[in-house]
Amino acid sequence: MAMVALRQLLDEAAAGAYGVGAFNVNNLEQIQAIMEAATETESPAIVQASRGARAYTNDVFLIAMMRAAAELYPGIPVALHQDHGNSPETCMSAIDLGFTSVMMDGSLLADGKTPGEFEYNVRVTREVVEYAHARGVSVEGELGTLGGLEDGVGSGEIHLTDPDQAVEFVERTGVDALAVAIGTSHGAYKFTRPPDSEVLAMDLIEEIHERLPEVHLVMHGSSSVPAHLIDEINRYGGEIKQTWGVPVEEIQQGIRHGVRKVNVDTDSRLAMTGAVRRVLSDSPEEFDPRSYLTEARKAMQETVAERMRQFGQAGHAGDYEPKPLDEMRAVYA
């Protein structure tokens, strides 16, 4: 099965009233973990790579591994998504490489740190939409900014999405999906206490969904940072401070109000790191990377499979016939 456009996955998720986890990757084991979890749960999958991941893995390796994944797991509809593209050039290079979806993050300037003005965001996002849709590729935009940093990207400031601007932004850009800022943050250290309505503005999602019922909403920074994953790391010599992530129940509430794509990265990193620390602590004589990376892959698979079930995507991999990008190009036209 060839990789498919994100738009088809999210259209199907909307029809089935479920969300789809989007999991970040940097290497072979992470791709394998996602595809194995998708097979285990019979789920569609979104694999996403940041600019940092593309630099670390190398574009040639990354696209080759993803094409291999599509070939080895023919029953899994999978989209390859550029996460937080900082410029039209970054997004276009991903499209030319073979990505089936891109995010143009015009909420920040090209430096990935300075908040961008609304008109700038509209202009660069629209430019990417025109280029992508002509090739059958989907586009995610972002309005508002999250806290924290991801691969060095982020202003460090939280600016919640304005519903009025959201309507105008979608109308003027034609994006397939809209990432909204509701108080979440990138990274492990999201909240210093369990988040409530004063911290997470879930009502914003409901309001935006009411005004844009046909638009697929996206939650970034949505790792739940489970305590048992932090405990596993610290048990074997780590020093992760106590922190709280986004409760699964809040994500599920978002899914009930139009959230179709849920970005998860930190949970995967925590799971893998805990497994590696455990193996090397229990077997200090071990030096074969296959030993600890096998356990790391297994730990990430378990975490991803759990999220896939919690988001409701489990069991939906075979619901529809995947459309090739040529067919999506005709749909966009």
* ∠ CA 103-105-108, rounded to 5°: 170
- Token couple for 208: 């935006």
Phi, psi (degrees; rounded to nearest 5) at 71:
-75, -40
Q: Is the distance from CB of 7 to CB of 323 less than 8 angstroms?
A: no
Backbone CA torsion sign across 252, 79, 90, 133? negative
What lies within 8 Å, CB to CB, of 298 at 6+ separation is: 33, 275
Active site residues: 83
CA distance 129 to 189: 33
Helices 289-311, 248-255: inter-axial angle, 10-degree rounding? 50
The single residue listed with the structure tokens 């143009």 is 104
SS3 319: coil
CA distance 226 to 107: 29
CA distance 200 to 177: 20
C-alpha distance from residue 280 to each of 2, 65, 68, 266, 274 (Å): 38, 27, 30, 21, 10
Instruction: Kindly write down the DSSP assignment for every residue of 11-79, as one continuous string.
Output: HHHHHHT--EEEEE-SSHHHHHHHHHHHHHHT--EEEEE-HHHHHHH-HHHHHHHHHHHHHH-TTS-EE
Q: Is the distance from CB of 225 to CB of 245 less than 8 angstroms?
A: yes
Q: What are the contacts of 203-206 at 24+ separation with CB within 8 A?
A: 204/160, 204/161, 204/163, 204/180, 205/180, 205/253, 205/254, 205/257, 205/258, 205/259, 206/257
